[in-house]
Each structure stands twice: as structure tokens, then as C-alpha cells.
Chains A and B, each alone.
Chain A
Amino acid sequence: MPTRHLIIGGGTAGLNCIRTIREEENGGSEITLVSGERPYSRMVLPYYLGQSIAESHVYTATPASLAAWKVKAMLGRRASALDTRNQTLTLDDGAKVEYDDCLIATGSRAAKPPLRGADGPGIHCFWTLEEARAVIAGVQPGSRVVMVGAGFIAFTILNAILSRGATLTIVEVAPRILPRMVDAACADLVARWLVKNGVALRTAATLTKIEEWRGRRKLSFKKGDPLLADVVIMATGIRSNLEWLDGSEIERSTEPGGGVLVDDHLRSTVKNVYAAGDVARGPNLLTGAREVHAIEPTAQEHGRVVGANMAGRDVAYRGSLVMNIVEVCHLDVASFGQWEDADAEVYTALRPERSQYRKLLFHGGRLTGAVICGAAGDIWTTNDVGMLKGLVYTGVDLSAWKAHLKKSPFDVKPAFMATRTTGRLLPQTILGRPSNSPELPQSVMVR
């Protein structure tokens, strides 16, 4: 009997897992995909909101491409209980699916704070395609939009909201913007840039309630005047979709962030059940500590590693590296690794006249984190961004270069080359083999 793989969740992790299984074994096994939504990429929803792509562009699989992969797709259905002893998943409609091995990749959802009025009309999250459609319908030229939360998710849709002709105010409970993506010095630079570009910011603002007021939304705060808005977008964080595992034998972390505890093969405590992406608490590349990294690159790598292991390979995962990049009003902001670390040796450079900031963090000769900020059109901003990842990823010894990098944190390239980082990187692959071209659903290819 062919092996029965069950993939729960059709996001980045699930789709990468399926593609990798097929790359490894040419269709010999059975694959069932259970997904609440038709597979699409959440990463590109901001571009749909900004009208630079059509809705058809967001899909990562079509009925035809799933059929070509010989995937039995159960779309619009959600997992409701996992019986690991009998290797059976129960769906929300009561149907049961048996498996030999299974992947938990149910991702996360937008989380709203418990706030009076947060479920009223004109108040949206921006996480799913359906939520994106609602925001698209609501944000019109001249709309007054208030975004609650100044984190990465909020910033990914900032350009799109402005491009729709709306005015934007961002309110944040923390004393500064981007509290989990960049340090305070960088946040200050970004804040000034945004204000210069017509975005209103209100930090250290505790929202107390939202109410309807003459057809608009009225937001009240602990301190200061209320704000009026046509549309409110709650970008107040995400929560992993794991409640459906309550009562199962799968061990989850009780630490903040939770997540299914996985080993270096991304197996849970039940060995034929894997977890990947936003729901997996896997190894951090730099520290080895198990953490949830709810970012696209981690979901992608997790998914591929699980796919290879399900197909019978023995692939150990080194771990994931936190990385984020976002462009706001033509300013690039990015960070890598342990960018905030009280034990690290830190070199910074600030060129306020060019809105440039650079921060490098070292442990001994090893680069362990970086923050990058600068105008997107400025070649000095973007020239070496990837190289910083290469240096962090290889952990190459930069001792001889520290004096130079301390003086010139923007001049990373000679250090990268002379430490032979290219040569160190070349043999490295996630799956121990060259990657294949992605197989693309035809309907997505043709516009």
C-alpha cells in the first residue's frame, strides 16, 4: 500500500511540503491536503491591496496544479481533532482522514485585543484573503484610515493604503514603532521619514474603545484626543491556530508564543506527526533554542524539510534565522538574527541626512545580527543586505575585520569576500541537494 501523507494547512509550509514530496518520489505516495482556504500567498496580499497585482496572482495552487501533483484536496474544510493513536484526523464536518504521517501547518490568524467595539463595522484585520477583500472594499480615495499597531504587518500594507488615496494615522501602544523588528534608533529614523511623507503617528497610545459616531469610527485613548476614522485596521499581532489540537498527544510549549515542539527533523513528540511554519517551535539557527519564527522564510524551509523527510530522506534542519524586510514610502528597513542582544558587541552608524542606519552585532568574531535602514534608491542601503545574511548564516570568523567594520559598518563587501564567505556558502543547501525550479500552476503563469 502506498504511504498516505496528510498535509493540514495549504499555506507556505504545506505547499512547500507537497512540492518537495513530489520532487523526491515522483508520485508514488498518496497526498491529502486539508485546507480551510484555497492556497494563496499572504506575503503578496499587500500588493493586491495596492492594486499592483490582480487577485488571481495571489494563488499558489489551482485545482489543476493540485491534480497534476496527484493531491487529494479537501478545501474549505478545517481540522478539528487529531487522534494520533489511530492515525486519524477528524474534520469540522465530521469526516475522518487516515494517515501514515501527517504535517500540522495550520498557520496563524490575526489577533485583536479584547477591546470594546473592536468587532464593529468598518473595523478589519489584514491577514487572510477574505480580510484583504474587505479592506479593499472599504478603503477609498479620501478615506481616513487608522491603523492600530505599528509592527511588521502594519508596515507591509502602509504603501498600499496610501496608494489607494487614503490618509493614514498609525497608533501604537509601545513608546515607538516597529518594536519587534528594529531598535529604537532605527525606529526613530523610520518615524521621521513617515511623518515627512504625510503619515501621522501616535505612539504610547493605549486604545480604550471604538464606537460608532455619525457613520464613522471613533477611537478613544487613555490619554489625548479621540480619533475619527472611516476604516480601522487592527494590526495587533497574530496567534497560531493550534486550539484544535487540545486533547491530542502532541506536546506544545507553554512558553510565550507556544507552538508544537519539534526536533531537528521537525517531528513532534509523536514521531509520524510533523509541524512547520507559524505553529512549529523549531530550532533557532544561531542559538539552537526552540522558538516560533512566524515568518515566510521559516515556513518555506520547514515545509521543504518535512516534505523530504516524509518522502523517506533523513534531513536534519540547522534552524531558522529571523529576517524581515519592508519598504515604506521608498525607505528600506530590514533586520537579521539577534538584532537586539544586550550581551553582544554592537557597532552602529547613523547618517541622518541620508536616513541611513546600520547596526552590526557580534559575539567574538561572529556576526549574530544586523539592522539596515536607508532610502531604497540609495545603492549603499541595498548593496550588501544579502551579504549580511551570508555572514550571519555561515558564522564566519570576522575577527580580523572588526576594526574595519566598527569604523565603516556600511563597508561589508570586502570582509565578505576576503573571509571566503562565498566558498563557505556554495556547498550549503537546505535539503542536501540542488533546489528545483518551482512547478507553477498554469493559470497563475498566464495573465
Chain B
Amino acid sequence: MQTGLFQPSKSVIRVSPFEGYTSYAPYTCTQCAEGWCMTACPVGAIHINAAGAKDVIDDKCVGCKLCTIACPYGTMFYDGDTRKAYKCNLCGGAPACADACPTQAITYEDVATADWVGDFAAERTAIVLAREVA
């Protein structure tokens, strides 16, 4: 998803810090099988693009925000400037985030479905949580 602007607050791939900002995990749309955003849209403004990604058709989106609460992953956003919903569309098949990442923390490849971020986050929050509870 590219707009030509440099504005991290509007990024559709968001990086979470862990363990006091010593490790990080990127998080973005999983292009899930249900496509909760797509099925929720009352005017069919979200479709599956050539790259297999769920993509917002700007001309059709009215900005009702229903997709932002229907998406259970929290990866559907609303742009107050354009008054449209927006999301990761895999840049039509050539994701710029993977290109830009200098450490290959983000790669674009066809692999079996796995919750990469889940294990990473569970491991890296355990100590902090134990401290909080104590």
C-alpha cells in the first residue's frame, strides 16, 4: 500500500517494541481466508486483487469504518484525510516493506501459515509480565 507520502503514523505495517525497545516485531494484515473486512463492507468496496490481497477500491469506499471493527486482527485503518479505509494490499505483489527492510526481517515468500509474531511476542513479554504481576 503506497501513497507517495512519508508518514509512519499511516503505515499499514506497524512495528511493536518488546523488552524495553531491544527487540521488535512487524505486524500487518494476514490476508486471512475469511476476509472479514471484505465481507463486512456494505458496498463491496473491498475485493481480492491480482496478488491475492484484499484491497480497498477507493472510488467505492464511503468511509463508514465498519471494516475497522469487523477485522479481528486490527489491521484495517481509516485515513482521516482521504476519508477512506485503507489496508495492506501487498503493493499489488511487490511489497515495498520487504524491499526496504535492511535486515531481511520482512521477506515476501510463499510459506505455510504460521503465527510467527505470536511465539516471538509470548517469549519476549514473559519477563515483563512476571514483573508486573509480582
Nearest Cβ on chain B to A290's Cβ, whole angstroms: 22
Which of A26-34, A114-122, A258-266, A376-384 has 4 or more CB atoms under 8 Å from chain B? A376-384
Assess the B34–A404 pair: CB atoms within 8 A.
Answer: no
| Tally of B interface residues using CB under 8 Å | 56
Which of B69-77, B88-96, B97-105 has 4 or more CB atoms under 8 Å from chain A? B69-77
B59 interface hit (Cβ, 8 Å): yes
Assess the A376–B118 pair: CB atoms within 8 A.
Answer: no
A215 interface hit (Cβ, 8 Å): no
Given contacts A330-B80, A387-B74, contact A435 B119 (CB under 8 A): no
Give CA–CA (A435, B42) in the complex, Å: 15
A200 interface hit (Cβ, 8 Å): no
B38 contact set on A, CB distance < 8 A: 435, 437-438
A417 contact set on B, CB distance < 8 A: 16, 25, 27, 117-118, 120-122
Nearest Cβ on chain B to A312's Cβ, whole angstroms: 21
A289 interface hit (Cβ, 8 Å): no
Q: A-B pairs with CB below 8 Å: how many? A: 173
Assess the A423–B80 pair: CB atoms within 8 A.
Answer: no
A400 contact set on B, CB distance < 8 A: 129, 133
A57 contact set on B, CB distance < 8 A: 43, 60, 62
Nearest Cβ on chain B to A53's Cβ, whole angstroms: 6
Assess the B44–A414 pair: CB atoms within 8 A.
Answer: no
Give CA–CA (A421, B120) in the complex, Å: 13
A44 interface hit (Cβ, 8 Å): yes
Given contacts A426-B113, A437-B47, contact A296 B74 (CB under 8 A): no
B18 contact set on A, CB distance < 8 A: 414
B124 contact set on A, CB distance < 8 A: 418
A393 contact set on B, CB distance < 8 A: 72
B42 contact set on A, CB distance < 8 A: 12, 41, 43-44, 60, 296, 300
Assess the A323–B16 pair: CB atoms within 8 A.
Answer: no
Within 385-431 of A, Cβ neighbours of B (below 8 Å) are at: 385-390, 393-394, 400-401, 403-404, 407, 413-414, 416-423, 425-430
- CB-defined interface of A314-337 with B at 8 Å, one 1/0 digit per residue? 000000000111010010101010
Nearest Cβ on chain B to A356's Cβ, whole angstroms: 16
**16 new A-B pairs (CB below 8 Å) besides A12-B42, A384-B74?**
A43-B64, A44-B43, A47-B64, A60-B44, A297-B70, A300-B40, A323-B70, A389-B69, A394-B72, A400-B133, A404-B129, A417-B27, A418-B118, A422-B73, A426-B32, A430-B39
Q: Could you tell me which A residues sit within 8 Å of B by CB distance?
A: 12, 41, 43-44, 46-47, 52-53, 57-58, 60, 296-297, 300-301, 304, 323-325, 327, 330, 332, 334, 336, 376-377, 379, 382-390, 393-394, 400-401, 403-404, 407, 413-414, 416-423, 425-430, 433-440, 444-445, 447
* A to B CB contacts below 8 Å, 27 in the list: A44-B43, A44-B62, A47-B63, A53-B62, A60-B43, A300-B39, A300-B42, A323-B70, A334-B69, A379-B9, A383-B14, A383-B74, A386-B68, A390-B74, A403-B132, A414-B125, A416-B74, A417-B120, A417-B122, A418-B121, A421-B72, A426-B32, A426-B33, A435-B34, A437-B38, A440-B44, A440-B60
